[in-house]
Amino acid sequence: MPRGLSRRILGGVDIGIIWHEAFTEPVTGAHPEGPDRVSAAVDHLRATDLWPRLTVVTPDPAAEEDILRVHSRAHVEAVKSAAARGGHWIDPDTYVSPHGYDMALLGAGGAIAAIRMWDQGLVPFALVRPPGHHATHDAAMGFCLFNNVAIMAAKLLADGYERIAIIDWDVHHGNGTQALFYEDPRVLFFSMHQWPHYPGTGEVLDCGKGKGAGYTINIPMPAWCTDNDYAHAFEMLIEPVTNQFAPQAILVSAGQDIHRDDPLGDMNVSDVGFAQMGWRCARMSRNCNGRLAFILEGGYDRRATAQAIETVLRAVTDDCAPAVGECSPRGGSAISKARVTQAAYWYLW
């Protein structure tokens, strides 16, 4: 049994969070991705009625072999060397602090810890930092050093899983995750992201390559998309494709920076939207024995991020969500374009 693990039942569903006090240490310099990003969420949860009923797990650092399933040795050594030199800016957005290498190992270890929590019947939310979905095979970028959700997926594949779905709702495209699995039919990757926006990737026609054709699904969304737009993206595309793919596990790159109060995005998503998405992910996971995990990506307004995390947890445990209204015209158009593109690979009509 992982350290600190005990079972508590909440609304018929066991839920938990993964976090470590070390995540309060600086890792990215004077930066939106600061040390209070996760601690603010934990402090918020501690003040709610959820906290006494949550299972809290303290992760261990990922083993190097887990990192090397996803990243090149040269990349791992570059991050390690940058930390050993006392800190280094890799690019204008991404800083490796003296703690950066150890923190990145711990973040990846937090994602891996989620796998062990499934054995206890838990749905985990890994409150880890730094985020990971921009990190590619051989490069760090966009605040990300190691790709946490990809490392978790690669671990599952190594353990014998054959079909894994990754849903990325961060405001920024998960370019690193896409690139890592672009030719792999075992991983179904969805990304809903603001378009155009950093990092400038994730066009609707990017659908995978070779045996992976059709297993990358991009839904580029215009700015100011609403709760209803995100719910309809699930209803009209993500859910029907996921059900056809029949994954053995569903991993969510939960970027809370689509919140309407986030300073790094231009979306108009409220707690209603997060409740819808959390509930829909939980509903889909019933077909894979509840193997669902949320891995924190972005989210830079401390209050909004904390509230969105609480909302997702409540939606999962309560098995209910607010009613869905009509799409916005621009959001509906973006979803329709993605549906038309993916109809070449999946039954959607």
Mind listing the pLDDT tens digit for each residue in 208-233? 999 999 999 999 999 999 999 999 99
CA-to-CA distance for 95 and 278, rounded, in angstroms? 31
Residue written as token pair 């957005």: 93
* In a domain? residue 50: yes
- The whole-number pLDDT of residue 8 equals 34
Q: Which of 14-28, 110-124, 156-170, 281-295 has the lowest mean pLDDT?
A: 14-28
pLDDT band, residue 9 (cuts 50/70/90) = very low
The pLDDT assigned to 87 comes to 84
Instruction: Reply yes or no on whether the pLDDT at 285 is more than 80.
Output: yes
Residue 2 in domain: no
- pLDDT(322) > 90: no
What is the β-pairing status of strands 94-96 and 122-126? unpaired
pLDDT of residue 12: 52
pLDDT of residue 349: 78
Say what the pLDDT of residue 3 is.
30
Residue 9 domain flag: no
Reported confidence tier of residue 1, pLDDT bands at 50, 70, 90: very low
Predicted confidence at residue 323, as pLDDT, reads 80
* Confidence grade of residue 92 (pLDDT, cut at 50, 70, 90): confident
Split at pLDDT 50, 70, 90, the class of 28 is low
Cα–Cα distance list, 84 to 136, 141, 238, 267 (Å): 22, 19, 42, 38
Q: Is the pLDDT of residue 103 over 80?
A: yes
Between the CA of residue 62 and those of 13, 36, 108, 184, what are the distances in Å?
Answer: 27, 22, 6, 23
Question: What average pLDDT does this structure show over 30-51?
Answer: 91
In which band, very low, low, confident or very high, does the pLDDT at 333 lie, cut at 50, 70 and 90? very high
Instruction: Over range 80-86, report the average pLDDT.
Output: 93
Here the CATH number for the domain that contains residue 86 is 3.40.800.20
Kindly tell me if the per-residue pLDDT of 29 is higher than 70. Answer: no
Extract the tokens encoding 191: 């990304």
- Angstrom distance (rounded) from CA 222 to CA 328: 10
Q: Would residue 89 count as lying in a domain?
A: yes
| In-domain check, residue 5 | no
Is pLDDT of 102 > 70? yes
Instruction: Answer for the pair 276, 231: CB distance below 8 angstroms, yes or no.
Output: yes
What is the residue range of 54's domain? Answer: 14-342
Residues identified as active-site: 134
Residue 7 resides in a domain: no
Residue 59 in domain:
yes
What's the structural domain count of the chain?
1
What three-state secondary structure class fits 123?
strand
Residue that wins the pLDDT comparison between 323 and 39: 39
Q: What burial class does residue 224 get, using C-beta atoms within 10 Å of its C-beta: 0-12 exposed, 13-18 middle, 19+ buried?
A: middle
CA atoms within 13 A on the CB side of 220: 16
Looking at the predicted structure, is the pLDDT value of residue 53 above 60? yes
Rg of the chain, C-alpha, whole Å: 18
Average pLDDT over residues 287-302: 97
In this structure, the number of other CB atoms found within 10 A of the CB of residue 286 comes to: 10
Average pLDDT over every residue of 52-74: 96
Residue 8 inside a domain? The answer is no
| pTM for this entry | 0.95
Between 256 and 89, name the one with better pLDDT. 256
DSSP-derived pairing of the beta strands 292-296 and 88-91? unpaired
